[in-house]
Chain A
Amino acid sequence: MGKTILIVDDEPNIVESLEFLMNREGFDTIVAGDGEEALQALQSQVPDVVLLDVMMQGKDGYEVCRQIRATPDWQQAKVIMLSAKSRDTEIAKGLAVGADAYITKPFSSKELVQQVNKVLGARP
């Protein structure tokens, strides 16, 4: 059974590339344009991995991640944060609210795919 990836970012240009990349790597993808949409998407289907942008209008990535971790039904979803924020403090905060990985933009596609496979493989 194919793994599902939820892509959350408010910039359509990166979403387009991520969606294409993940499809080509054999994942099913769902797209959400902001935090609210992401939470709605989670309610209808819990993905295996959430690629979560941090800086978004309205609910930001930290908030979305916190809610995912606070909802028992969503625990199987792994969260990889993607962010232009690169300070130690911001990375630490991302991991603290429950992200499984934190990748700073710009990132290499190869690394991202590796990271996705890693969090999926590490699943018990």
Chain B
Amino acid sequence: MTGKKKFIVALAALYAFLGAVTVLLYVVLWTTLAAEEQRAVLRILHGREGIIIFIILAALAAMGLAFEYLYRHYVSAPLRLVEKLGVIVAADSKVRLPQEGPVELRALTAAINQLADERDALKHDVQEKIESAKEAIEEEKNRFAALMSELNQSVIVCNVDGRILLYNNGARRMFRVEAGPARPAGGSLVGLGRSIFGILERSLVAHGLDRLRQRLASGDAHPIAHFVTSAQDGQLIRAQMAPVMHRDHNGTQEVGGYVLTLEDITQHFELENQRDMVLQSLTEGSRSSLASVRAAVENLLEYGDMEPAQRDRFLRIVRDEVETMGARLDKTVNEFADALKVRWPLEDMLGFELVQAAQQRIEQRLSLLTKTEEVDEELWLKVDSYSLLQVVSYLAARLKDEFQVRELRFRLSSAGRLVHLDLIWSGVIIGTETLVAWEMDPLTAGGENSPLTLREVMERHSGEIWFQRDKASHRAYFRLLIPAATAPAAMPPLSLHGGGRPEYYDFDLFRQTEEYSALDDRLLSQLTYTVFDTETTGLDPSAGDEIIQLGAARIVNGRLLRGEVFDCLVDPRRPVAPESLKVHGITDDMLAGRPTIDRVLPDFHTFCEDTVLVGHNAAFDMRFLQMKEGRSGVAFRQPVLDTLLLSTIIHPNQESHRLEAIAERLGVNISGRHTALGDAMVTGEIFLKMLPLLQEKGIRTLREAREAAERNFYAKLQY
């Protein structure tokens, strides 16, 4: 009821009440009068009816006005205040109550305004604290993520069910799948929420976990388990396993997951093998030759009376065997030079970068000018960069201090398995004995001391250093001979959709224990989804239309993972219809030579294993997938959710449920539409926005969502 209506009703009620009371009082008064007195009163009133009615009306009007005044100030005004207060509470906390009305009300509004001010200040404070806490957490998260992704080792963290909660770049690279005939889409086997058992033998991991538990039980606070296993393509992997402790409701500690540090030891192993082979070839080969030599020589010595021809034969045996041994030694050194290298940790480094670092160091610490000439930028070195830099700046410092050299130039050139690093200066010639003396002194330069000598560092590198003159140009140089390394194979970065750091970890997965509830009864917010989309040659799979592009991304714990995507073009073995070409712009040329659908689908099947499929108008895409079941040998039996149907549940009164329309309604930015992956991404984002809206409708579990979608679908059909 509006204020005005309320007021009229209240006024009418007042008048009725006053009238009733007045009439009642007069009736009572009337009954107490005697008959004559009644007559006397009637006589007095007779002829004055007009005045009486006027007085009554005037009194009523006066009372009405007074009532209106009171009502306006003490009823309407507070009511208005309450509405305004509602705005302050719910919508705009900046609004304040106006100072109006009677004194009492003013005092009240003043008090309320003050309260509102205080509330604002408090809110602001809390907000600020939250912001700064968030920032700190964000910073920590970024630092952590950076640390993890820069780590050389592969690290994977799993919960006890073997679901991956965290991984780093190293792990992703270790288990990357090259796009090839077997796996057209490429990608990696590592992904958030995926099972570790896709990578490592289940029984090995279980055994490791058992051992960890045993050690914990026997009082070892930091147990570690090791195992070696081979991965899918023959890599040899050494794994170290450490538990992540978890406190349950009762406060007892138990293993909630584990950290796996993985190392690809295939190369180590090969190197060890090589060393073994070197050792064997040297010892056994040499023993045989030595035996022949010794036997021949002993015969010669013992039986001096032998025939000259026999003596010659023995002598020839000795010569031949010694030659064989020499050749064997040369061959071994050449073939196994790398395996025989000293075990000092030398790292592969671009020679050009070493020169740059040396220049910077010399210029900054010694204020000596440096230049480069002919630096081969492709050369890789096998060096301990720290000690080698010390050597270079040590030489520079002595040249500057003792021979007043003003400028130093660098040259870097290849010499077979070795590299020449030349330090060149002009003018002063130093004696070879000077260098010999320098070689034995500890390395000191620019205030930095090292216990090592120049000689020791060169020996560590199996290198050499000498002094050389270039008489023609009046220049001299030190030549450092250091081992070359082969350039590491370029690692193309894993393709990422969109920018930003990929999502490498999700600790909320720790709390997920899938074994307790079947998929159908789990909360929508907890499920893992694969959002996918296809582009096709046309609209009718039964008439032979085919998939030409398949794109998908994963949603884990309410996050769309842009780093773990499936994106693949497919050769349909038939032309693309012109109408479809207009939509997606994929031409026949782009598809020629791509893998066919029966090769792509098994991969996609692996990609979306154990997840719920989500698509827009998913029935269309599913029909294409199901048509291929026979040929590809994989069936997609997992639950499917359709964002189109879900949209009809959430917004039954809207006309359009096209992807663009939904995206606009839900405030999702559209980019990269009409590529399968682009559409899958948009679908994923709108799906995430739909989850809270579904919850408002009481749809929380997968079962509820599927049933509601089915109902809506049949309701649509009945129209």
Contacts and interface: CB of A to CB of B under 8 A. Distances in A.
A105 B313 contact: no
B292 interface: yes
Contacts of B253: none
Chain B interface mostly? helix
Given A13-B321, A17-B296, A55 B291 contact: no
B321 A84 contact: no
Interface in B268-297: 283-288, 290-296
A84 to B, nearest CB: 4
A13 B299 contact: no
Interface in A47-92: 55, 82, 84-86
A109 B295 CA distance: 6
Contacts of B314: 16-17, 20
Contacts of A105: 287-288, 290-291
A109 B296 CA distance: 9
Interface centre among A14, A17, A85, A107 (most CB of B within 10 A): A17
A42 B468 CA distance: 68
Nearest to B316: A13
A18 interface: yes
A106 interface: yes
Given A21-B299, A85-B284, A109-B302, A14 B313 contact: no
Interface string A11-28: 101101110110010000
Given A17-B314, A17-B317, A55 B284 contact: yes
Contacts of A24: 299, 302-303
B317 to A, nearest CB: 5
Given A11-B288, A17-B317, A84-B287, A107 B294 contact: yes
A43 interface: no
B572 to A, nearest CB: 57
Given A13-B317, A13-B321, A16-B317, A21 B295 contact: yes
A18 B317 CA distance: 13
A105 B288 CA distance: 6
Nearest to B287: A84
A108 B298 contact: yes
Contact of B295 (A18, A85, A86): A18
B228 to A, nearest CB: 23
Contacts of A109: 294-295, 298-299, 302
Contacts of A108: 294, 298
A104 interface: yes
Contact of A106 (B294, B310, B313): B294
B320 interface: yes
Contacts of A21: 295, 298-299
A93 to B, nearest CB: 15
Contact of B287 (A13, A18, A104): A104
A110 interface: yes
Interface string B592-628: 0000000000000000000000000000000000000
Nearest to A18: B295
Given A13-B317, A14-B292, A106-B294, A20 B299 contact: yes
Interface residues of A, number: 21
Contacts of B298: 17, 21, 108-110
Contacts of A11: 288, 292
Given A55-B284, A84-B283, A109-B302, A13 B290 contact: no
Given A105-B290, A106-B290, A17 B295 contact: yes
Contacts of B306: 20
Given A21-B299, A108-B298, A84 B284 contact: yes
A86 B287 CA distance: 9
B298 to A, nearest CB: 4
A13 B320 contact: yes
A51 to B, nearest CB: 11
A107 B293 CA distance: 10
B313 A107 contact: no
A47 to B, nearest CB: 19
A84 B288 CA distance: 6
Contact of B285 (A17, A84, A86): A84
Contacts of B303: 20, 24
Interface centre among B283, B290, B295 (most CB of A within 10 A): B295
B296 A13 contact: yes
Contacts of A82: 291
Nearest to A17: B295
A36 to B, nearest CB: 20
Nearest to A15: B292
A17 B287 contact: no
Contacts of A17: 292, 295-296, 298-299, 314, 317
A86 B291 contact: no
A124 to B, nearest CB: 30
B287 A106 contact: yes
Nearest to B306: A20
B302 to A, nearest CB: 7
B332 to A, nearest CB: 15
A10 to B, nearest CB: 10
Contacts of B283: 84, 86
B290 to A, nearest CB: 4
Which A-B residue pairs are the 5 nearest by beta carbons? A105-B291, A84-B287, A17-B295, A106-B290, A106-B291
9 contacts: A17-B295, A20-B299, A20-B310, A24-B299, A55-B284, A55-B288, A86-B287, A108-B298, A109-B298
Interface of A: 11, 13-14, 16-18, 20-21, 24, 55, 82, 84-86, 104-110
Given A84-B286, A110-B298, 17 more contacts: A11-B292, A14-B288, A16-B313, A17-B292, A17-B295, A17-B296, A17-B299, A20-B299, A21-B295, A82-B291, A84-B287, A84-B291, A85-B284, A105-B290, A106-B290, A108-B298, A109-B294
Interface of B: 283-288, 290-296, 298-299, 302-303, 306, 310, 313-314, 317, 320-321
